[in-house]
Amino acid sequence: MVWFTRIVARSLGKASRYFGRTTPEHLQTARWGEAEAYFYLRSLGYRIVPRNFRTPLNHGEIAMIGWDDGVLCFIEVKTHPQAGQAPPEMAVDSAKKQHIRSVARSDVRRLRTDRPTGCRFDVVSVILGDDRHGPTIKLYKGAFSWRAAHLVEREPYSSREPRRWWRK
């Protein structure tokens, strides 16, 4: 039945390009990529709970939240219309990762469970290409973690000589 839903979604997506409201092309590309990523993740066994999840305090959204073998996954989808110089997953920079972490924190706080759930951040890269070959989709499980790279604890600086607190 998923195949039928996919065909209907693709057909309606193509029809909406010619009929109805005109939306900017980059938003159409993003929606198209998120739909393709949704069906791809469903075929891998993910159970997608909300799509385009927003919180009242943070601007922006997380593309999808889903469950994969008991692990809560926060999924960011990046789409390019054609293969170019940089792959779509490179658009998830440190600022975007920090934003996804903050939205994920508020979603985890919202869950009411007695035990903590395992969480993971995934990135889905979608290159739409042309209509003949279909999209190229790559999934990066655990693309980044809760901790930012610049927040990793480092050893304090120590010189080889003992520090003298008095003047000579």
Number of domains in the chain: 1
Does 83 score more than 50 pLDDT? yes
Q: Considering only residues 114 and 119, tell me which one the structure prediction assigns the higher pLDDT.
A: 119
20: containing domain: 2-148
pLDDT at 68 over 80: yes
Q: Where are the extended beta strands (E) located within 30-167? A: 47-53, 62-68, 71-80, 119-127, 136-144
Whole-number Å distance between alpha carbons of 140 and 158? 39
Distance CA 36, CA 26 (A): 15
Tens digit of pLDDT for each residue in 7-54? 777 676 666 666 666 777 777 787 888 888 898 999 999 998 877 776
Whether residue 27 is contained in a domain is answered as yes
Q: Decide: 129 and 118 in contact? Cβ < 8 Å.
A: no
Q: Is residue 41, in this structure, part of any structural domain at all?
A: yes
Residues 121-148 pLDDT 10s? 999 999 887 767 778 899 999 888 887 6
pLDDT of residue 122: 92
Q: Is the pLDDT of residue 1 over 70?
A: no
CATH number for the domain that contains residue 51: 3.40.1350.10
pLDDT value at residue 26 = 74
What's the half-sphere exposure (Cβ side, CA atoms, 13 Å) at 54? 5
Residue 163, in any domain of the structure: no
- Pure H helices in the chain: 2-18, 25-43, 94-110
Is residue 167 in a domain? no
Give the integer Cα–Cα distance in Å for 136 and 158: 50
In a domain, 125, yes or no: yes
